[in-house]
Amino acid sequence: MSDSVWILGITMTKFGKSPEKDVIDLASEAALAALADGGVTMKDVGILAAGNLMNASAGIGQQLQKQIGQTGIPVYNVANACATGATALRTAVMAVKAGECDVGMAVGVEKLAGAGLLAGGNRKADGDSWTPSGRYGSVAPLDGRVGTETMPGVFAQIGMEYGHRYGGADFELFARISQKNHAHSTLNPLAAYSKKMSLEEIMGDVMIAYPNTRPMCSANCDGAAAAVVVSEAKLRMLDPDQRRRAVKISASVLTTDPWEEACQVLPNVNTLTRNAAAKAYEQAGVGPEDLDLVELHDCFATAELVHYDNLMLCESGGAVDFFNSGVTWRDGSIPVNVSGGLESKGHPIAATGIANIWEVCHHLRGEAGDRQIEGASVGLAHVIGLGSACGVHVLEKAAA
């Protein structure tokens, strides 16, 4: 088995509206760019993992091959909620680590521009009584009965619960988190939105699900991202420039919900994220204090706050003080979502997991331009998809 796996080439398309391109066009653009970035071709690739959620039954990977090269390699079509891209990458990483091939590729793509709110469940017909049946036993979908299963509502609940438990998390604080991410986005030319917003603009915008206004919600958009990974043995055979730009995957972790009585009804984004983070730090041999930047899954401003805690960037219950200290801004000690996050960069679901990793790699390579975090050598990328799945990757700069 290969000891280490490295990202050789990685890219993302500009996120936003791409009416002239379909899903395969976007995936091809990202895949070919990642191959070029790594200095390899499809002839070198031994496995393809293709992530897509909204067209998951269409065999995206096989269709993609018809545009970038059909070489007879195994294709895995991946769908795992918002963790789809990270899961596709992990699929390629596992194949390389197992010794099945020296080079693997992962692609994530989605077209979501104009999709509106993405619901998490189907509303049941009203009635005076409900009788348990089928595999769900005594568990029924919540939507229209208790709260909501639309994503803005679910994550609004999660943020409000954190504030209720630990204090200090009010409407203005969540808006200031969004203000930070929109400010960061002004330096990211690939973001769907690169607009600085004042606190007043954010708090005064359309309320989606209190305390999340429209600018505090992730932007549904079109986009793709792709990564080429190689074994350490293969990397040693490549030229010095390829080795210099390679980024080590020090940890690749995927978790789901452990059994808890409550999470059979209400999703718990905290436990599986905390479990993933703990495993990732152990696997990489680093701690939160070693991170130079973090790209986390801020599908909503409320989500970013709780994930400070879940990723152990702060002490348990200390997320509010952690944010208020200023450390998460790009000039702070642990910059979070320098890309602008999902609220500004955008959230084409299956592409997000790889795009978050691309952002971290960009800084570790010293290629992030005006938003570069100077001296960055270790970074963490995180995504979570309700259902639930959490992916955490710890990435390290090449030693030479």
Q: Are strands 247-255 and 389-397 parallel, antiparallel or unpaired?
A: antiparallel
CB 193 within 8 A of CB 304: no
Candidate list 182, 184, 307, 347, residue with the active-site label: 347
Predicted pLDDT of residue 150: 80
Which among 136, 82, 111 has a CA at the least distance from the CA of 19? 111
3-state helix, strand, coil split of the chain in percent (to 5) is 40, 20, 40
Q: Residue 164: CB partners within 8 Å, gap ≥ 6?
A: none
Predicted pLDDT of residue 58: 75
Q: CA of 302: how far to CAs of 1, 115, 343, in Å?
A: 41, 21, 11
3-class state of residue 251 by DSSP:
strand
Q: What is the pLDDT along the chain (400 residues), one digit of tens a residue?
A: 457 999 999 999 999 999 999 999 999 999 999 999 999 999 999 999 999 998 877 789 999 999 999 999 999 999 999 999 999 999 999 999 999 999 999 999 999 987 765 544 444 455 556 565 665 555 555 565 556 778 888 899 999 999 999 999 999 999 999 999 999 999 999 999 999 999 999 999 999 999 999 999 998 999 999 999 999 999 999 999 999 999 999 999 999 999 887 766 667 889 999 999 999 999 999 999 999 999 999 999 999 999 999 999 999 999 999 999 999 999 999 999 999 999 999 999 999 999 999 999 999 999 999 999 999 999 999 999 988 899 999 999 987 5
Tell how far CA 321 is from the center of its chain: 25
Predicted pLDDT of residue 121: 47
Residue 16 and residue 13: Cα distance in Å, rounded?
Answer: 9
Report the 10 Å Cβ neighbour count for 315.
10
Which amino acid, residue 184? H
Residue 197 and residue 194: Cα distance in Å, rounded?
Answer: 10
CB 120 within 8 A of CB 149: yes
Domains of the chain by range and CATH? 5-115+219-397 (3.40.47.10)
| Phi, psi angles (nearest 5°) of residue 195 | -125, 120
Which among 374, 291, 389 has a CA at the least distance from the CA of 51? 389
Tell how far CA 161 is from the center of its chain: 23
Paired tokens of 384: 């979570």
Q: Residue 211: CB partners within 8 Å, gap ≥ 6?
A: 156, 159, 160, 170, 171, 174, 175, 301, 302
pTM above 0.85, yes or no: yes
Residue 315 and residue 85: Cα distance in Å, rounded?
Answer: 29
Alpha helices in the chain (DSSP H): 23-38, 60-68, 84-97, 151-166, 171-185, 199-204, 232-236, 240-245, 269-284, 301-310, 319-324, 341-344, 349-364
Instruction: Pick left, alpha or beta for residue 50 (phi over 0 → left; psi -120 to 50 → alpha; otherwise beta).
Output: beta
Residue 82 annotated among the catalytic residues of the structure: yes
- What's the N-to-C CA distance of the chain in angstroms? 24
Predicted pLDDT of residue 123: 47
Residue 361 annotated among the catalytic residues of the structure: no
Which among 307, 304, 296 has a CA at the least distance from the CA of 359? 296
Which among 105, 100, 103, 49 has a CA at the least distance from the CA of 79? 49
Give the containing element (helix H, strand E) for 78.
Answer: strand 75-78
Residue 34 and residue 41: Cα distance in Å, rounded?
Answer: 9
Which among 166, 140, 142, 145 has a CA at the least distance from the CA of 154? 142
CB 179 within 8 A of CB 213: no
DSSP 217: B
Candidate list 82, 299, 361, 390, residue with the active-site label: 82
Paired tokens of 218: 């992730």
Which amino acid, residue 381? A
Which amino acid, residue 138? S
CB 108 within 8 A of CB 353: yes
